[in-house]
Amino acid sequence: MTEEERELVVPVEGEGERLDAWLAGQIELSRSRIARLVSEGRIQLNGTLPRKSEPLTPGDRVRIRIPAPAPARAEAEDLPLSIVWEDEHLLVVDKAPGMVVHPAPGNRTGTMVNALLHHVTDLSGIGGVMRPGIVHRLDQDTSGLLVVAKDDETHRALSDLLRARRIRRLYLAASWGHLDRSPRKVDAPLGRDPANRRRMAVVAEGGRRAVTHLRVLESWPAAELLEVGLETGRTHQIRVHLAHLGHPIVGDELYGAGWGAGMSGSIRPFAQSLARRTPRQFLHAHRLAFRHPGTGEVVRFESPLPPDLAQVAEWARAEAGWESES
């Protein structure tokens, strides 16, 4: 397999963005891999070798040479894996909570990729040696639906659909407090939190556009069950946007630590019990829909709340005297 060469033209909305950040939003490569390609001289900006942090101007031409993908080197492991759909082009996985999607420092084994390599012999190599077939990801403690590509053509097509916002992704989330209106659209750029590199944050400058749609499904005494739609797919996007609104996800220790325990008045017992009962961040990738690159048919998938979160929701409904319509 030979290397791939692409040329992209920076649009008006790309003005001022860093080269590596903008490219990461256009092609199916991480910023760290783009940085390596820059250092290897595989990326040109208007015919010259740029810095990874080079600011862009509308009309700039970016040429990138992507080396042929190496065979996946992650180890195949016989791990439980819930495959809800599989054909010659792709598969859809219902990821269990606690499972990391792909190997990384500190998580070389036990990941969804390790399980995939045992269950599936053909995966796209575009994601590199540790992310074969991975089109999009979920946080370790987020459960639910993911699509995985089996061949490079399908991987590119799915990545194009994702960038064009034509893969519909809906989540179920429980958040503290109550939104002032529903439905609600959050349009707030995200970037790395300068005070804590483990966190993302809504930033005034240098961030990437992030759009989240919120709709209340159930109202509980100290929290709500939401349906959340992603228009973009930034790191920790739902968690950060809800925390930014002052309604972090129940059980989210990174963005919502301490919530529930500090509530007062008549809702305090409910809030404290809800916090104790929630074993992880209450976030589940519930629905997934897209036009299948191989057949052209629209395919739709749905995953109900897994048992750990379903038990929490049933308790909250009983306490609130609320019957679900979801």
Residues assigned a catalytic role: 139
54 half-sphere exposure, CB direction, 13 A CA radius: 21
Buried b (16+ CB within 10 A) or exposed e, 204-230: eeebbebbbbbebbbebbbbbbbbbbb
Distance CA 146, CA 111 (A): 14
Q: Dihedral sign, CA of 261, 262, 263, 269?
A: positive
User: Taking each helix axis from N to C terminus, what angle separates 307-320 and 268-277, rounded to the nearest 10 degrees?
Assistant: 170
Beta pairing class for 61-66 and 43-45: antiparallel
- Which has the closest alpha carbon to 171: 312, 283, 325? 283
